Amino acid sequence: MSESTDLAVSLGAGTISFEIDGSLYPQDALYGAAYVFLDRCYVLLDRVSDNRVRVLLRGKTKDAALDGDALAGEFQNELLGQTWRRKIAEDNRSLIEAITARALGGAAGPPGLDDLLEMDVGSETAFDDPLGIAMSWEEKYAKGKSDAAKTAKDAAPADAAPAEDPPEVTP
């Protein structure tokens, strides 16, 4: 990071500015790092050249003395950390997908969260309700009402759930 980042430059009025080499970091990591500072700082990004992005940070609280170098250092650490974490996440993507698919359905079972995420929104493209949440009680279990509860138990995904709702915590 040190070779890619100019020294933090104070612009007065509590604002610091530094440049980073955009070719070394995924834009997602830059955004991720910038996002982390949105609560404490006003953050402005500007493109200096094809590969260089200038980051401007100004602390929100006027009374707190703004340590520009510390802030720049923290930003660098965050940027590198997000890059590191994203690489690990990438290595693990297929594992997480396999687990999620197995847990919440997928090809071999009832559809899961992924399906929820992929559904089209819009009044005509009404979503498909893969989890069966939108079905009425009778529709979902499609049996005589009197044994509906028993049927619900049977219909629960084998791995997933006892028929009872998880109760809330009580003392």
Partner 1 sequence: MIEVRFHSSLYDAEAVTEAIDVYADFARFERVGGDAAAPYIHVRIEASADGEISEEDVRAEFANYALGRTIERRDGREVAS
Partner 2 sequence: MNVQNPLPAFRPFVAAGAAAQKPLDLVEVRYRPLPNAGGDVLLTNPFGDWVFVTQGEMSALVRGQLDDGTPLHQKLAAKNFIRSKISVETEAKRLARKKRFLAYGPNLHICVVTLRCNETCVYCHASRADMDQVQTDMSPEIGEKVVDFMLQSTSPGVTLEFQGGEPLANFPVMKHIIEYAVQKNRAYGKQLDFTLVSNLGLMTEDKLSYLVDHKVQICTSIDGPEALHTKQRVLVGGNSHREAARWIERINKKYIELGLDPTLYHVEALLTTTREALKYPREIVDTYRNLGCRAIFLRPVDPFGFAKKTAGRIEYDRREYHDFYRTAVDHILSLNAKGEEILERYAAIFLTKILMDEDSNFLDIRSPSGSAIGALAYNYDGSIFSSDEGRMIHEMGDDFFKIGDVRTSKYRDVMKHETVRALVLASIRETQPDCNVCTYAPYCGIQPEHSYRSQGSIFGQMRQSTLCSVHKGIQDFLFEKLHTGDASTVDTLKRWTTIRERSHFIQSSAAS
From partner 1, partner 2, none, which one binds at residue 136 (CB under 5 to 8 Å depending on kind)? Answer: partner 2
Among 11, 47, 161, 163, interactor with partner 1 by CB under 8 A: 47
Question: 17 in the Ramachandran plot: left (φ > 0), alpha (ψ -120 to 50) or beta?
Answer: beta
Nearer to partner 2, 11 or 161 (CB): 161
Binders in 110-129 for partner 1, by CB under 8 A: 121
124 binds partner 2 (CB under 8 A): no
Structure tokens that stand for 24 in this block: 């070394």
Q: Give the whole-angstrom CA distance, residue 52 versus residue 19.
A: 6
Among 9, 15, 21, 36, interactor with partner 2 by CB under 8 A: 36
Nearer to partner 2, 47 or 60 (CB): 60
Among 8, 20, 34, 71, interactor with partner 1 by CB under 8 A: 34
E strand or H helix at 119: none
Q: What DSSP string runs through 43-61?
A: EEEEESSSSEEEEEEEES-
Q: Give the whole-angstrom CA distance, residue 134 versus residue 137.
A: 9
44 binds partner 2 (CB under 8 A): no
Q: What DSSP string runs through 121-139?
A: PSSSS----TTSSSS-HHH
Nearer to partner 1, 88 or 121 (CB): 121
**Binding segment toward partner 1, per CB under 8 A, in 28-36, 108-116, 125-133, 160-168:** 28-36
Asked if 100 and 112 touch (Cβ cutoff 8 Å), the reply is yes
